[in-house]
Structure 1
């Protein structure tokens, strides 16, 4: 028995097949081009296997409301060609199996909750800081969704007193993604994040924005663990700066877990989302 998983990113699709022990037996990385070209390659990969269910974690925004006429669609994405694309409908035309549908960051949160840095906890938030900024949450063992899914990367943040940058987000300008994403760093300093590793002020400003977000999530969700992934977070000097700024901004208003243990890197490294997708596939097959 096989399970299928798709981590659908704006740059690449990672597809995997696992056995019933959730051990990956095959995987492939496919560049994200047009929907037709990309999914034809996905189908070529999956057609080699007979599987019982699929879990999909997609870049967004996506429609997760099962009562909606556009459930299963990627919606208002700026990714050319993908706006209001019927992702799950196209998948179901090809495969008559249960397909679980959520965001890539929700899938990553679920993977980390089940098998990664938060597996000893009852709740967690996964935040990715890279080309974009996105977040997912697991609360009491369930992925957090309502009318839609969280859009944690687009919360509004206060501008750092020493930051003159106006923000990169085409929708909100100086939201978290607009101020803290990889492209925002590059546009602000005319260098990529990895080329600024030794500049302390760059990372103090970056930590200020990320810490603001974690304070907001804390006050709303009170998670036991924050897991910070994505390309920007590979700058490990960010973690102590974020913890320090978080403590300063929260100012002892509410109790939190030990910050050294609760603001951490992904335990599954770059496999959090694909692991979460496989777990969701297995759960849908066993319902």
Structure 2
């Protein structure tokens, strides 16, 4: 009897790595949460996890990694598979694929963490049934994933829409921004660290009525306006810690409607309540998306049959190991 196909996935974040192994039915068999410290420590712990998991469950058929970036994703590039010039201290020029190829002889794929989260939303969340949508995360950094024609978009490399420059929000002209590369790009103005640098406390400690939220909403809406006119997606899904206050999506919708200013009847007719949405695939959407991308490498199709059990299993397993 043939062994079942097993798939490995990694959601490589700036604060934690989530690693998991799932079977062909989307049942998560093994999972671990590893703090993101130094590359040697973090990647060695991830490799050790997959070695133990294969000893328990059998060999992997494929591994997919969704990572913070920037990443080198063009297969012909000399640094293909690496994190490049990241603001994350100590992680620039780290060869992710090269590290795991030392211990795993299986097909591997690398994409952005936001593209993997977008796949998770496609399968289990706010992207279900959509052909083209954007997934935006506003947190320690600002990232944008694009699914176009039902597949993650990369082009020459992956998009870096978190580093676009936008008009300064009213009342925010004096802040220089904190991006080490661009200063006052979107990430330099509206990320969690930018909020702390500007107002002196983490975002979660700002009162709901603090004027910061209107300023941040204007910047996020500016990103959404750019995505609307450049990509024209079916939906923009916005998650991340900065979007946690209960009325942030409403503030972004209102600001976006003002910024679009009624231009283009197809845009003017958008229902903002459904066009700008919160994610709904759960905290493990990035890992689930990475597992699904590993499945797709082998089968050439998305695992649409996972669309109940995988999410519930991943969420319950994550609760046990967090």
TM over 0.5: yes
Partner of 1:34: 38
Structure 2: runs of 5 or more not aligned: 301-322
> Which shows bigger deviation, 41-50 or 60-69?
41-50
Partner of 1:244: 254
Q: C-alpha displacement at 1:196, in angstroms?
A: 0.9
**Cα distance in 2, alignment partners of residues 4 and 242 from structure 1:** 36
Contact 1:30–1:42 (CA under 8 A) maintained in structure 2: yes
Contact 2:12–2:66 (CA under 8 A) maintained in structure 1: yes
Q: C-alpha displacement at 1:82, in angstroms?
A: 1.6
1:44-123 paired onto structure 2 within 5 Å: 44-48=48-52, 49=54, 50-123=59-132
Partner of 1:282: 295
Contact 2:13–2:36 (CA under 8 A) maintained in structure 1: yes
Contact 1:6–1:274 (CA under 8 A) maintained in structure 2: yes
Residue 198 of structure 1 aligns to a residue in which SS? Answer: coil
Contact 1:18–1:24 (CA under 8 A) maintained in structure 2: yes
Superposed CA offset, 1:191-231 (max 9, x none): 11111132242211110000000000110000011111111
Contact 2:116–2:285 (CA under 8 A) maintained in structure 1: yes
Residue 48 of structure 2 aligns to a residue in which SS? Answer: helix
Moved over 4 A (4+): none
**Cα distance in 1, alignment partners of residues 207 and 153 from structure 2:** 34
Number of residue equivalences: 287
Q: C-alpha displacement at 1:51, in angstroms?
A: 1.3
Contact 1:266–1:272 (CA under 8 A) maintained in structure 2: no
Partner of 2:171: 162
Contact 1:113–1:123 (CA under 8 A) maintained in structure 2: no
Query: What root-mean-square deviation, in Å, do the aligned CA atoms of Structure 1 and Structure 2 show?
Result: 1.2
Structure 1: runs of 5 or more not aligned: none
* Structure 2 residue 225 is the aligned partner of structure 1 residue 221: no
Q: C-alpha displacement at 1:233, in angstroms?
A: 1.0
**Cα distance in 2, alignment partners of residues 84 and 94 from structure 1:** 20
**Cα distance in 2, alignment partners of residues 40 and 9 from structure 1:** 15
**Cα distance in 1, alignment partners of residues 80 and 122 from structure 2:** 25
**Cα distance in 1, alignment partners of residues 165 and 73 from structure 2:** 23
* Structure 2 residue 154 is the aligned partner of structure 1 residue 141: no
Residue 10 of structure 2 aligns to a residue in which SS? Answer: strand
Q: C-alpha displacement at 1:114, in angstroms?
A: 2.5
> Which shows bigger deviation, 274-283 or 156-165?
156-165
**Cα distance in 2, alignment partners of residues 276 and 66 from structure 1:** 21
Residue 148 of structure 1 aligns to a residue in which SS? Answer: coil
1:116-131 paired onto structure 2 within 5 Å: 116-131=125-140
* Structure 2 residue 18 is the aligned partner of structure 1 residue 8: no
**Cα distance in 2, alignment partners of residues 150 and 38 from structure 1:** 26
Contact 1:197–1:235 (CA under 8 A) maintained in structure 2: no
